[in-house]
Amino acid sequence: MEAATMAWTAAVVGAGLVYWFVWVMGAAEVKGKRAVDLKMGSITRDKVQDKYTQYWSFFRRPKETATTAASAEKVPAFVDTFYNLVTDIYEWGWGQSFHFSPSLPGRSHRDATRVHEERVADLLGARPGHRLLDVGCGVGGPMRAIAAHSGSDVVGITINEYQVKRARAHNRKAGLDSPRCEVVCGNFLSMPFPDASFDGAYSIEATCHAPRLQDVYGEVYRVLKPGRLYVSYEWVTTPLYHAEDPGHVECVHGIERGDALPGLRRQDEIAAIAKEAGFEVLKEQDLALPPALPWWTRLKMGRIAYWRNSIVVRVLTLLRIAPKGVSEVHEMLYETAQHLTRGGETGIFTPMHMVLLRKPPAAASTEEEAK
């Protein structure tokens, strides 16, 4: 074969491989986001690397970020940066629901995710005519599942403007646009909603971003109508976690650093904080415990896909289709996945400690008296 023909053949095969890797293999399992569409939220292309460096130096020592008041105040802004950096990668590699769920035998991840979300609606007794609050709504996967399953209307709040845009676009596409599902950009530590304006509230793997859980619970308590319910899936360490074990500490720090967390709480702290906020604790259960099947199998099974994704991201960065810095963010997530898997396998961590709380019916008269 002549040199020119060989060069042409190599070029065509090479281009074909790139196309296959990036456009075909690079599509999300739910065929939502494609690798070529990876943006970094509201961050401009040239700022991605800097923003990642800033994020990393802030969350490198997670416990310190929560303990000094000055840095605790900065947490929401850094959480916002985090979601600018990861939202597209999450959608691309995980889907529209940014949480875990117990595996279900013979069922897809998608089904398991939906069942875990519908459980929230069932616990709340949600029905048509109810207006629910989704505290930390992401791009709205849970919101759409809960609205469709229960017939309730849902209002979601997220700190990240880019997620608001994504969630609204998904809602429109699903035929669940306002008033069925609404999305507001705001801080759940000080929410832009009137007192006693919701018939129910829930948070799925979101309140772990708050430096003080009391502050979010206090806000949810304020906006709930008396007698109404709040369900939360909390990220916590379990009684199997030992602070003297360096392996445990490394695992938990890894989870905190790679997930924008100002320090994981202990499982036994949650109910006490809820009561301090004024709630009655109706139920508390770690949904990850047997007979539930492991929530981390999906993370583990994805390893080959992550390796492929990592190559896709590098190639796209090289071709200047993806902004510089995306590879570092992807690497960080890859490492985080190892820590999360270790946390699950050792049982020292759960992302689904469920609490079902009620604002006492008598709260109405007590609040009136206090005025």
Cite the DSSP H helix spans in 212-362.
Answer: 213-223, 246-258, 270-276, 297-301, 303-318, 326-346
147, containing H or E segment: helix 141-150
Return the one option of ligand L6FYQM2W, ligand SAM, none that residue 163 interacts with (CB less than 5 to 8 A, by type).
ligand SAM
Q: Closest Cα partner for 206 from 227, 191, 226, 224?
A: 191
140 binds ligand L6FYQM2W (CB under 6 A): no
Selected range binding ligand SAM among 49-57, 91-99, 169-177, 328-336, rule: CB under 6 A = 91-99
Window 182-211: residues binding ligand L6FYQM2W (CB under 6 A):
205, 208
Alpha-carbon distances, residue 43 vs 53, 89, 202 (angstroms):
13, 14, 29
DSSP, res 103: B
- 204 contact choice in ligand SAM, ligand L6FYQM2W, none (CB below 5 to 8 Å, kind-dependent): ligand SAM
Site string for ligand SAM, 67-86 (x = CB under 6 A): ---------x--x---x---
Give the nearer residue to ligand SAM in terms of CB position, either 204 or 363.
204
Cα–Cα distances in angstroms (integers) from residue 44 to residues 53, 87, 137, 186, in the given order: 15, 15, 24, 21
Q: Per CB under 6 A, does 97 bind ligand SAM?
A: yes
Of 189, 236, 273, 356, which lies in the binding site for ligand SAM, with binding defined by CB under 6 A?
189
Q: Which does 170 bind (CB under 5 to 8 A by kind): ligand SAM, ligand L6FYQM2W, none?
A: none
Q: CA distances (Å), 82 to each of 34, 42, 209, 269, in order? A: 20, 11, 11, 26
Instruction: Give residues with Cβ within 8 angstroms of 47, minimum separation 6.
Output: none
- 259 scored as a contact of ligand L6FYQM2W (CB under 6 A): yes
Q: Which of 242, 265, 241, 261 is nearest to 348 (CA)?
A: 241
CB 220 within 8 A of CB 201: yes
Q: Among 306, 314, 315, 347, indicate the residue that binds ligand L6FYQM2W (CB under 6 A).
A: 306
Question: Among 98, 198, 230, 295, which residue interacts with ligand SAM (rule: CB under 6 A)?
Answer: 98
- Interface with ligand L6FYQM2W (CB under 6 A), residue from 93, 211, 254, 343: 93
- In angstroms, rounded to a whole number, what is the distance separating the alpha carbons of residues 274 and 334? 33
Segment near ligand L6FYQM2W (CB under 6 A); pick from 52-60, 155-163, 180-188, 328-336:
328-336
Would you report the helix, strand and coil content of the chain in percent, each value rounded to 5? 55, 15, 30
Q: Which residues bind ligand L6FYQM2W (CB under 6 A)?
A: 89-90, 93-94, 98-99, 205, 208, 259, 299, 302, 306, 309, 330, 333-334, 336-337, 340
